[in-house]
Amino acid sequence: MRCAILDLPLSEDLDILRAATARFAQSEWPIEKLRAVADGGPVIESGYLQRAGELGWFAALAPEEHGGGSISGTGLLDAVVVAVERGRSLQPGPFVPMNVVAAALAREGSPKQQADLLLDLTAGTALATWAAAGPSSGWETGEAIRWARTPDGYALTGTAVLVQDADRADYFLITAGSGTGISQFLVPARTPGLAVRPVSSIDLSRSFCDVQLTDVVVPEVTLVGAPGKASAAVEHQLQVACVLTVAETIGTMEQDFQLALQYAKDRIAFGRPIGSFQAVKHLLADTSLLLEASRTVCDAAARAASDGGAGLELAAVAKAYVGDSALQLGQNCFQVFAGIGFTWEHDQHLYLRRLTMDAALYGDPAWHRRRLARYYELPEAK
Amino acid sequence: MAEPGADLKEYRDRARAWLAGHLDPRQPGDPAGADPAHWTEERDHRERSIQRILFEGGYAGIDWPRQYGGQGLTIAHQRAFDEVASDFRVAEFGILGRTTWGICVPTMLAHASPAFLTRHVPRVLAGEELWVQFFSEPEAGSDLAGVRTRATRDGDRWILHGSKVWSSGAYYADYGLCLARTNWDVPKHRGLTWFAVKVDKPGLAVQPLRQINGRSEFCQEFFDDVELTDDDIIGEVNQGWTVARTMLSMERQVGARTKMRPVTAARRPAADLVALARRAGRADDPRVQDLIARAHIIDVVQAELGTRVQELAAAGARDPASLACYPKLAAGTSTPARALMGIEIGGGAGLTWPSGEDPPAGVNDYLGARGQSIAGGTNEMMRNVIGERILGLPREPSYDTDQPFSEVVRRAAKWGRTESPKPN
């Protein structure tokens, strides 16, 4: 079910991608399957990522010579179409980090890194994830993990959190900081000193891990880009992560809102559908505005992504606005469902949980608002 | 005909050359936008002369029909001209420019008789007529179809009696487009008629209305048996609601267009609040910086929503008037909130200013911004339209649509006392 009130029509090619993604999601991972594992258990089944890769989920931001390619000509727009459908049906798996790593390698990776990994990554036969933030640090500073030169290469130490599907990952793209700047490393999973600890999370539809690095020694060839000079690359990766997460959020918001709207038409109280009461009708109108405004801002951020500074600014605006709006939407929908929405059996909590995690991933609204301060030329906040 | 792009380019070049030969280049400080404050006789004369030059040069009403003095070209030609003309000192009629050109004449073109249009449209194009909307009343705002100003048949004349309010810029208008009740014995939507009312008619008094911010952009009018004729009617007698729907749609779209803040690469986000924070000495306060970011986000979202609805309307979306409720509701809810941010950043000291001076912009915005949540339909009306027309929720129960309006008024006065009306 789609509610596309202020959606611009998709091109024919992108609409085919959208429909194929929706069909794939419905057959591979309908909500009943999520329900079956919601109490714990494996979240992605074997072959899921490979079949998703065949649909082009991980190809849009990678170059054609390494298995990538974009339908629209602007890779992020393709990936946004996939992301919205994924969010709508609460799809599992590291779609966002895989695309972030693909985009990073396409821009910054050495020819060897590109040749070794991109083909498998875009095909969905290798799983790569992104380790950037620490328990109390941001996503772009490299504070969580420290890097230092050693005679044999580099030593990495620290803990990254919210690393999606790290327990199944083949590769980690790790952001690390030091006094001389930020560096990034592409590290294979079975590197000594790298420990993955799966964690439970509020989001039942995806799995996350803490990744702890204790004096992990990696050779020169794992460097992505120049040592100490990865700051701009990390900003770009964060932008990709934000736009795609926002797009997933839009899909989830749409679906939750559709369910609440239908419920307001079906549920009878005082001899009337509850949606005929102005208190409920107006709540739904406000909620619809949150959704439609989120959609337009998401599109603006995606379209501006190749536009340098404006793209970075809009990604932060979108992540902050949509994060707040999504949580408000989740609460408003809950208010419409009332009692039934407070039960485990009703799907609403699955949407609310996912929306809550999306709002926090890759920077919560307050964090992105702080980042926007750079555009005002004001003194450092005290 | 040549391909449209080439035609437009040639048109744009020709317009630019003509403008350069006939009008002054735009200077900083020239009037712009819809601000009607400080309208003077001198300004009135100047704007009307400029409009006359545009009309005589064939650059007025570019996409309006030729038989009424327009140029009969496309909206794309009009936009091309507007683009070029923004570099020149064209006529700026303030708020009445918007109502005359954006709302009143497009509504007339859809509904008025050829004879009416022949009388009025060329005069509008020549700068001889400015139109105001006589729309809301002291007792009818959101419920516009409940207007009580009456036009009563008297031989071959109509006698207009009642009052209108919130008419922007009426004090410098030539004509008002007035919605009046012509039949009280039918349901409210079926007894309404539109009249053209010359503002200097005997019996018509215009009074400026002082707003909460002390300014006077709106007026109230009193009609004490103003005489009208059949020639003044727009559309059919008692079919005025059809005309009103056209007009409301124009108004919402004009409203959504003009409430956008421009988003361009060169802009300075939330520049007003940044400047305010500096003046208040609180530029390094993290809470102040968070408020600035919130305002910045509001501005981006508002601009994107407005642009999106325009894009969809231009692409032929169904029911653009209802879609325009999204940016309107966004503006109606976020504008007062944003203005409050200015007050919070300014702190207590921002609420005072030197005696004898005008209040600072933040104070004016704070008081004036709430107009956005009611003008052109309250937030609640927007929510009803979104809820019912877009989301498909059940309509509000009606107590007045199937009964004679006179009966509705009589019974409504007894609500909760001697009668408990049932919905239709």
Contact assessment for residue A142 and residue A177, using Cβ atoms and an 8 Å cutoff: yes
pLDDT the model gives residue B168: 87
Specify whether A252 is located in the same domain as A221. no
The CATH fold assigned to B259-390 is: Butyryl-CoA Dehydrogenase, subunit A; domain 3 (1.20.140)
Residue A362 placed within a domain:
yes
Q: Rounded to a whole number, what is the distance in Å from the CA of B18 to chain A's nearest CA?
A: 36
**By CA distance, what is B267's nearest residue in A?**
A375
User: Rounded to a whole number, what is the distance in Å from the CA of B180 to chain A's nearest CA?
Assistant: 29
Q: From A294, which residue of chain B is nearest by alpha-carbon distance?
A: B301
Buried b / exposed e over B82-121, threshold 16 CB at 10 Å, is eebbeebbbbbbbbbbbbbbbbbbbbbbebbeeebbebbb
CA angle B384, B390, B391 (to 5 degrees): 85
Interface mutation target, options A276, A332, A376, A380, chain B, most CBs of B under 10 Å: A376
Q: How many domains does chain A have?
A: 3
Contacts of B301 in chain A (CB under 8 A): 293, 296-297, 317, 321
pLDDT of residue A42: 59
pLDDT tens-digit map of A109-165: 999 999 999 999 999 999 999 999 998 888 999 999 999 999 989 999 999 999 999
Looking at this predicted complex, what is its ipTM?
A: 0.95
Integer angstrom CA distances of residue B170 from A341, B207, B248:
53, 9, 19
A234-281 residue pLDDT tens = 999 999 999 999 999 999 999 999 999 999 999 999 999 999 999 999
Q: Is the pLDDT of residue B374 over 80?
A: yes
| Contact call for B392 and A381, based on CB within 8 A | no
Partners of B306 on chain A (C-beta within 8 Å) are none
Give CA B108 to chain center in angstroms: 15
Q: Final residue of a domain: which of A200, A229, A258?
A: A229
Please give the Cα distance from B148 to B162 (Å, whole number): 7
Residue A41 banded pLDDT, cuts 50, 70, 90: low
Q: How many angstroms separate the CA of residue A369 from the nearest CA in chain B?
A: 5
Please enumerate residues of A whose Cβ is less than 8 A from a Cβ of B.
Answer: 5-6, 8-9, 261, 264-265, 272-273, 275-276, 278, 281-282, 284-286, 288-289, 292-293, 296-297, 299-300, 309-310, 313-314, 317, 320-321, 366, 369-370, 372-373, 375-382
* Partners of residue A278 in chain B, C-beta under 8 Å: 380, 383-384, 396
Closest CA to B296 of A239, A287, A7, A374: A374
pLDDT band at B35 (very low <50, low <70, confident <90, very high): low
Asked if the Cβ–Cβ distance from A320 to B293 is below 8 Å, we say yes
Q: What's the pLDDT band for B376 if we cut at 50, 70, 90?
A: confident
Name the architecture of domain B1-92.
Orthogonal Bundle (1.10)
Question: Is residue A306 very low, low, confident or very high in pLDDT (cuts 50, 70, 90)?
Answer: confident
Give the torsion sign (CA, A349, A350, A356, A359).
negative
Q: Which of A2, A45, A40 is nearest to A21 (CA)?
A: A2
Lowest mean pLDDT among B91-100, B146-155, B222-231, B257-266: B257-266
What tokens does A310 get? 């404006």
Nearest-CA neighbor of B185 among B242, B244, B238?
B238
**Amino acid making up residue B133:** Q
**Same-domain status, A249 and A147:** no
**Which of A275, A289, A309 is nearest residue B393 as measured by Cβ atoms?**
A275
Rounded to whole angstroms, how far apart are CA atoms A329 and A356? 11
Burial tier of A335 (Cβ tally within 10 Å: 0-12, 13-18, 19+)? middle
Assigned CATH topology for domain B133-239: Butyryl-CoA Dehydrogenase, subunit A; domain 2 (2.40.110)
* Distance from C-alpha of B122 to C-alpha of B366, rounded to nearest angstrom: 41
Which residue from B283, B305, B323 is facing A379, i.e. has the nearest CB?
B283
The full DSSP string for B219-260 is EEEEEEEEEEEGGGEES-TTBHHHHHHHHHHHHHHHHHHHTP
Using CA atoms, how far residue B316 sits from A8, A42, B320, in Å, is 12, 47, 8
Taking CA–CA distances from B297, the nearest residue in chain A reads A317
Place of tokens 């933030």: A133
Whether residue A204 is found in the same domain as residue A286: no
Interval B130-148 mean pLDDT: 94
CA distance A378 to chain B (A): 6
Residue B139 annotated as catalytic:
no
In terms of domains, do A224 and A253 share one?
Answer: no
Choosing from B3, B137, B251, B344, the catalytic residue is B251
The last residue of a domain, from among A180, A209, A229: A229
**What's this model's pTM, rounded to 2 decimal places?**
0.90
- Verify that A330 and A283 share a domain, yes or no: yes
Same-domain pairing of A236 and A370: yes
The pLDDT tens digits for A44-86 are 778 999 999 999 999 999 999 999 999 999 999 999 999 999 9
Secondary structure class of A39 (helix, strand, coil): coil
How distant, in Å, are the alpha carbons of A236, A377, B105 from that of A313? Answer: 11, 14, 41
Q: Which residues in chain B are contacts of A286 at CB distance < 8 A?
A: 329, 333, 383
- Spell out the residues 6+ positions from residue A355 whose beta carbon is closer than 8 angstroms to its own: A249, A252, A253, A256, A326, A327, A329, A330
Pick the closest to residue A96 from A24, A165, A19, A197 (CA basis): A165
Cross-chain Cβ contact A369/B305 below 8 Å: no
Judge if A175 and A186 occupy the same domain. Answer: yes
CB contact under 8 A, A281 and B323: no
Interchain proximity A5–B390, CB inside 8 Å: yes
To the nearest whole Å, the CA of A218 is away from the closest chain B CA by: 40
Q: Closest partner residue to A282 among B269, B289, B387, by Cβ?
A: B387
Q: How many Å lie between the alpha carbon of A257 and the closest alpha carbon of chain B? A: 11
The CATH number assigned to the domain holding A307 equals 1.20.140.10
Tokens of B329: 């509701």
Is the residue at A5 inside a domain?
Answer: no
Inter-chain contact A5–B289, Cβ cutoff 8 Å? no
Domain of A79?
Answer: 12-95+115-123
A65 and A138 in one domain?
no
Query: Contacts by B59-68 with C-beta closer than 8 Å and gap 24+?
Result: B59/B15, B59/B18, B59/B19, B59/B85, B60/B125, B60/B126, B61/B121, B61/B124, B61/B125, B64/B105, B64/B109, B64/B121, B64/B125, B65/B109, B67/B114, B67/B118, B68/B109, B68/B117, B68/B118, B68/B121, B68/B122, B68/B125
Report CB contact under 8 Å: B300, A372: no
CB pair distance less than 8 Å for A369 and B293: yes
**A225 lies in the same domain as A296:** no
Q: Where are the domains of chain B?
A: 1-92, 133-239, 259-390
> Same structural domain for residues A258 and A219?
no
CB pair distance less than 8 Å for B387 and A285: yes
